[in-house]
Structure 1
């Protein structure tokens, strides 16, 4: 039970990070402080990538929503196998996708290693702890 609680906390932290990324990509993109975090060279390049960033931000939003709903279902389903199973499935899908996206980011080059670690560490830990809790 303790492992599941810790897993849920870490998954929620991963979701909060992805909500922040959503905001940066979908609404804060016009700010130089934001697009510079994504290694965008200048305002012209940021403007050219604005629509892609906006769309990508929503992917992060949907992953965060899935993770949060998964945690809520897990917490609600302590005595219901169906809710617990649905919660586990959403947590696995959401954190697994977050982790996979961070690994894809690594394929772009070493300059993205810090961002990939930031994006992928909490989902990795949350996923691992959830697997351990589910197996118990």
Structure 2
């Protein structure tokens, strides 16, 4: 039964990773598009330009978390001697995504929807991968 939880948890970790690649794209590649910076509550081009370096940096944090989750899942899939590394890397990455979502909602409760978008997939991944690891 543990392998079923691990497999489903890995799927959610991949989905969380892909979502964070999309967020990276918004923050680091497409930030200068008004439709993108408006998604983040920025109301003027001037403010978007001021925030651009921070958004770029934040986008790369999201990319690094995504890479960690995706690489962790690849290690999980490889199994064998890489299983432990896969568990650690996957849980660290999706756990960090979840923690970032919690920081977002705690720092500004009006951003609860964004935090839920950012944190739901990682939460499910953390729960399922943990249960899978404990029951295998």
TM-score (norm 2): 0.95
Q: What is the aligned partner in structure 1 of residue 34 from structure 2?
A: 32
Q: What is the aligned partner in structure 1 of residue 19 from structure 2?
A: 17
1:107, distance to aligned residue in structure 2 (A): 2.2
1:41, distance to aligned residue in structure 2 (A): 1.5
Runs of 4+ in 1 over 4 A off after TM superposition: none
Q: What is the aligned partner in structure 2 of residue 49 from structure 1?
A: 51
- Cα root mean square deviation, aligned: 0.7
Q: What is the aligned partner in structure 2 of residue 112 from structure 1?
A: 111
Q: What is the aligned partner in structure 2 of residue 71 from structure 1?
A: 73
1:108, distance to aligned residue in structure 2 (A): 2.8
1:21, distance to aligned residue in structure 2 (A): 0.2
Matched residue count: 133
- CA deviations 1:28-56 (Å, max 9, x no partner) are 10011100111111111000000110011
Q: What is the aligned partner in structure 1 of residue 90 from structure 2?
A: 91
**Structure 1 alignment gaps of length 5 or more:** none
TM-score (norm 1): 0.95
**Structure 2 alignment gaps of length 5 or more:** none
Of 124-133 and 2-11, more deviation after overlay is shown by 2-11
Bigger relative contact order (CA 8 A; separation at least 6):
2
